[in-house]
Amino acid sequence: MASTTTAPTLIGSVQRALRLLEAVGAHADGAPAKQLARETGLPLATAYHLLRTLTHEGYLVRDKGLFTLGEAARRLAAAGSLQNRRSKIEDSLARWRDVIGAPVCFAVYRDGEIELVAVSDHLATTAAPPPGDRAEHRQVESTMAISLPLMRDAGAAPELERLRGEMRELLRLLAVSISI
């Protein structure tokens, strides 16, 4: 009987370029093309062509014959790290939402504005506890707070009141308790 699964179509030049990027990343002080070709098992001519392309695109930097990771490669790494943090935040919000039975959000204060980072408002398949059974959840709810790092001078008072109002309205819309 023939297999119903098919092998994925792979692009060899992409695979070779990725192997070169990995090899360059293993050398903090950089490595010459010949060494990278040996380490990846690529013909020297192929390695040179790929290294030139990766350098042109900003993934590598060539300085005094040594290749190091470029800004584009660093942006990729940073984006992965940011995505990992965002996933952890979203997972945590989902757990809190399921514990208290109400939508929750995570916001940060930047340059005078409140930036909503993540919201978890769709309750899981388990229903929230009925209002009479929520006594045990009050302690959890009371520990939830959004803190805003504001300057402690008199000039910040109107800004703090404005932010409190915005947070109250936002959280009213999301049905979340707040304590500032």
Tokens matching residue 109: 């204060």
Based on the fold, state whether residues 60 and 30 are members of the same structural domain: yes
CATH of the domain at 21: 1.10.10.10
- Cα four-point dihedral sign 123, 125, 131, 136: negative
Based on the fold, state whether residues 63 and 89 are members of the same structural domain: no
Domain count, the chain: 2
Q: What is the pLDDT along the chain (180 residues), one digit of tens a residue?
A: 555 667 778 898 999 999 999 999 999 899 999 999 999 999 999 999 999 999 999 999 999 999 999 998 888 877 666 667 777 778 888 887 787 777 777 777 777 777 777 777 765 544 444 544 444 444 333 333 343 444 455 666 676 677 677 766 666 665 444 444
* Cβ-based neighbour number of residue 158 at 10 Å: 9
Based on the fold, state whether residues 102 and 148 are members of the same structural domain: yes
Residue 2 lies in a domain: no
Domain residues for the domain of 113 are 77-123+139-176
Residue 147 lies in a domain: yes
Chain centroid to CA 12: 29
Tokens matching residue 73: 């490669």
Q: Which long-range contacts (CB under 8 A, 24 or more apart) does 49-53 make?
A: 50/13, 50/16, 50/17, 50/20, 51/20, 53/17
Based on the fold, state whether residues 89 and 58 are members of the same structural domain: no
25 touches 69 (CB < 8 A): yes
